[in-house]
Structures are given as structure tokens and as C-alpha cells.
Amino acid sequence: MTTADESIEPFELTVEAEAIDDLRARLERGRWPDQLPDAGWEYGTERETLRSLCAYWRKDFDWSAFEGRCNEFDQYATVIDGQRIHCYHVRSPEPSATPLLLSHGWPGSVMEFLDVLGPLTDPVAHGGDPDDAFHVVAPSLPGFGFSGPTTEPGWDVPRMADAFATLMDRLGYDRFVAQGGDWGALITAILGANYPDRVDAIHTNMVFLTPSTLTEPMELLDEQGRADYEETKEFRETGTGYHEIQETKPQSLAYGLTDSPVGLAGWLTEKFRAWSDCDGDLESSFDRDRLLDNLSVYWLTETIGSSMRVYYETDVRSATPDSVDVPTGHARYPAEIHKTPRVWAEEVYDVVHWAEMPAGGHFAAMEVPELFVEDVRTFVREVDP
């Protein structure tokens, strides 16, 4: 019997009419900055693209359908280490299904996984093999979305990993496979390193490691490894201004993004375009409604500020494991912003699966759900936990 503090309560989203009216009023009153002629996306989010997205959000976005998408699968909330944790917990009809923990990152949310929950948990209903079934747990990171804002300092990625290990135990899973991208990839790596008695294998879209812990890291690189290194180096030099702000002064930025839906949309939409495999055409990778699902979760829960705090709280160098000894799979999506050379990964992780994906980027489960599902299935077949 659980204590009240360990209770797990069903969760269902209801969007109040007052919240919708307030959002629409703010969008209608939005003040738009000037934009240089023919600037396109060079200086950041292109104004007319954002204006069109916000007009759709104000006038045409179907809030009833949004609620339906959010509530299609079973959701729960519990309190761990003093923090509310929301999760999707979708059990498979297959009794031998493998428990699978999915962890998202920023500026995404648990909404990234809506298109993969069905195929992962009920492959037969989606034309697959029952042996590929999973019981899926997909939490909202503390400080993100339906988990609500964090209310004390110290919620860094290692603490999130510990909370998710507790969540899996509380849900009845003594062993499981973990998968993640972005911050979720670091959560996944930490789980593999710190809980090898419970984590059978890990699968990531990004590989976190500290090159300085390797012996002569540059000497290890072949031609492809050097290309990966240079591509990631260029991103760090030209595409990480958001990171510098969020790891130093997230509160200053939070005022504008919490008060203005136009500001919030401008800040997040640029990342979805730049980090996806869309070749500059945002809506070729993301349905407009799905982009707004993610934005709406941040807006309604007022968690953009607390979500950005993870950058301030987390010392990535100290949080990154020196060694991860459980079987590891990696899916390399072509538009991923952070590409770790395979030879470096093999120095730190027990790499048993490395897939060069034909399409997709940073938000793989949302961009290319079929490819994401098939690679996770392939990996788990290989490790046979």
C-alpha cells in the first residue's frame, strides 16, 4: 500500500475557456518588430511566417481537438522528491511487452511522442509484430509542461534521472529500457551509468560525452569523425546563443516569453525550423497543429521559464558519465545539431547498435515517427532484454 505522497493519480487535460480567450486577446494585441528587407531567417524567426502561425493559433486552432490529442492515452501525476511529475503511462495489450522510458528535451515536450505511443505499445494494431510491443512511460520533465514549474533550485539533469528511476519503480517496473533525445539523451545516459541493475539497455538520438576524458581524442577520428566534429563545432559557434542566455539569465528572458505568446512562438519556432530536416520549409517536417500543440502546452502551463532553468541548473561536464556499460544504441538523424563521432562514443558507451537514419532531425519522434519506431524496435530486438 502506498502512502499519500507516493500516490499516482489519473490526469486529464481540460482547457478552460478563459485561458483560450486570454491567449487570443494577447495574440490579437501582439506588437510586431520591424524586419529588414529580404532578411529571411538570417537574423532569427522570419516575421511573416510567425505572423501566419500566430494568426492560425488565434483564429483556427481547434482546442477541442487539442484536448483530444492530449487525452488520447492514459496519463498520471505523482510527486517525487517534492516535485510533481506528469507522465503518459501506456500499457501494451501484449503481456510480454518490454517496459520503455521515453525522455524528451527542450524546446520540445512530451507532446513529441504522441505519434509513436500507439505503434510502440500496440504494434499489431499498426501492422507490426506483437513481439515488438512496449509498455511505454513518457514523463514530462520536471519544470516542463504538465509536470508544472519547479519550485526550488537544484533540479538538474542528474536529479531528473533519479526521479525517473523512482517513477519507473513506482509504476511497477524493476527493469526497463530507456530512450531519449536532447536533455532526454543525457537523462538516459545517466540512468544507464547509475542504474545498470535496472536499466537493461539505452537508446539515444544524441550522444553525450566529454572529449577531454579521452586519450588523444582527435587522433582517434577518421574522415567521417572529423566531419562530425567540424559540423558540431560550427553549430556551437553559430547556433548556441539561446544556450548562453538560458544557462546564465533565464529569468530575464522568461518575463517576455511568459507574457507574450508571440514572443514564445518566435523563440521556439526558430529552433524547430533550424534543428529539423526541413530544408528551410518548416511545415514540410511539422504539421501546423502539432507545432501549436507543443507551444500550447508551454503557454497553458506557464513553464517556459522553469523549462529554461535546466540550462542554468545543469553542469553538463560534471553530469556526463565517464562510462556507460549497458548495451547502447544510437540513431544518427541527418539534421541532428550535435553529432558525436562514433569512435568517441565507443570509448565511453557499450555501443551495440549505430543506425545512420535516412531522414529526420532533432525532434525525431515528431518528425519521422515511423523511422523512430522502427529503429527502437530493431535495437531492442538486437539486445533482447
Number of Cβ within 10 Å of residue 256's Cβ equals: 14
Longest dimension (CA), the chain: 65
SS3 329: strand
Strand ranges of the sheet holding 324-332, from the earlier edge strand across to the other edge: 9-11, 75-80, 83-90, 134-139, 98-103, 176-180, 199-204, 324-332, 349-356
Q: Is 228 a catalytic residue?
A: no
105 φ/ψ angles, rounded to the nearest 5 degrees:
-140, -155
Helix (H) or strand (E) holding 313: helix 304-313
Q: Is 338 a catalytic residue?
A: no
Choose among 332, 217, 208: nearest CA to 277: 332
**Is the Cβ–Cβ distance between 30 and 54 less than 8 Å?**
yes
Of 173, 229, 298, 311, the active-site residue reads 311
Q: Bridge-partner residues for 88, per DSSP?
A: 75, 138
Residues 191 and 187: their CA atoms lie apart, in Å, by 6
197 φ/ψ angles, rounded to the nearest 5 degrees:
-75, -10
- Secondary structure letter of residue 102 according to DSSP: E
Residues 6+ apart with CB under 8 A from 307: 106, 107, 141, 143, 144, 145, 298
Measured over the CA atoms of residue 120, residue 123, residue 126 and residue 128, the dihedral's sign is positive
Of 89, 104, 330, 362, the active-site residue reads 362
Query: Which amino acids are annotated catalytic?
Result: 182, 311, 362
